[in-house]
Amino acid sequence: MQAVLFKCPGQEWYWLGGMTLLERNLWLLEATGVDSALILHPPGDTLPPLTSLRRKFRLELYGAAVEVAATDPLAVLPALRLELRQPFLFLEVNLLLDPRALETLLWQTPPCFLVMGNGAEPTLAWRVGWLKAENWPLGNKLLQRAGRVSLTSVPQYHPGLREEVPPYCEKISNEKDLARGWQLLIDRTAKRPADVIEKLVTPPVENWLVRKLCATRIPPQLVTSLSFAMVLAGALLFYQGGFSLAVFLAWVSIVLEGVAGKLARIKLLASPVSSLEHLVGFFSVNA
């Protein structure tokens, strides 16, 4: 399976959650089974570095200086006829895409487009195309012949959070969109609070720390380890009678545990400490 990502003239390589949206989408595409990606960018542009946490992509990456019109990106398909040999996904680089929306689209038979709103309306803006290699001669006529899947029809159950959360598919084109994107990332990575403290006190601190740490190479595993260290220090203080500081350290460990989970989900990483996460949690609670 292939993917074609395009960047239109005048756009930037927007960063969100510690990486460019290009890199974020490449990680999502790799996770869904894409094995090669063609990145189209305006002549004179250069691809940004793909270096978040020094991970390496398994999929093959190709860059090409090709002019793609923002008003009619599908018109570029005939020029790519030699590159399109498999079913492929076609999407804009600066797209904040929910993995559930991508999975739902891939369940459909190509050609099909992910659209916003009611999929029955003929003039809806599309966000992602799921196309066949032989569709390239049609260009923008594809929209008249292809199927449609609406974002509103994407299942709302989020496996990572184990609850229903509305899916998203946002086009990022300015600073206001970036602010909206950050809010979506934070909201869609936060497990729903169990008590008043988790609802009102810890989220602002967690979210501030997550935004700071996203810009660094600090991995979630290190934050989890620090959280466990706070637990052990707090348990020792409880044992020795230092209750005030012990309670504070216990609260800090809860905050850091939340930060580690959010950081891992935002950076599209495995859960902190991998299979040891539940074991660490068990000892933390009992300590």
On whether residue 169 sits in a domain, the answer given is: no
CATH number at residue 19: 3.90.550.10
On whether residue 163 sits in a domain, the answer given is: no
Residues 107 and 218 both lie in one domain: no
Residues 34 and 95 both lie in one domain: yes
Residues 154 and 193 both lie in one domain: no
**Structural domain count, the chain:** 2
- The 10s digit of each residue's pLDDT in 133-163 is 888 888 878 888 888 999 988 988 777 667 7
Residues 21 and 120 both lie in one domain: yes
Supply the DSSP symbol for 64: E
Residues 144 and 219 both lie in one domain: no
Residues 33 and 106 both lie in one domain: yes
pLDDT recorded at residue 84: 86
Domain termination site, one of 114, 141, 158: 158
On whether residue 42 sits in a domain, the answer given is: yes
Q: How confident is the model at residue 272 (pLDDT cuts 50, 70, 90)?
A: very low
CA distance 272 to 109: 36
Domain termination site, one of 111, 142, 158: 158
pLDDT recorded at residue 108: 93
On whether residue 171 sits in a domain, the answer given is: no
Is the preceding peptide bond at 73 cis, omega within 30 degrees of 0?
Answer: no
Q: Taking residues 118-131, report their average pLDDT.
A: 73
Is beta strand 112-115 parallel, antiparallel or unpaired with respect to 147-150? parallel
Residue 219 sits in which domain range?
189-286
Residues 116 and 213 both lie in one domain: no
Residues 26 and 146 both lie in one domain: yes
On whether residue 166 sits in a domain, the answer given is: no
* Local structure of 139: helix, strand or coil: helix
What is the rounded radius of gyration, in angstroms, for the C-alpha atoms of the chain? 22
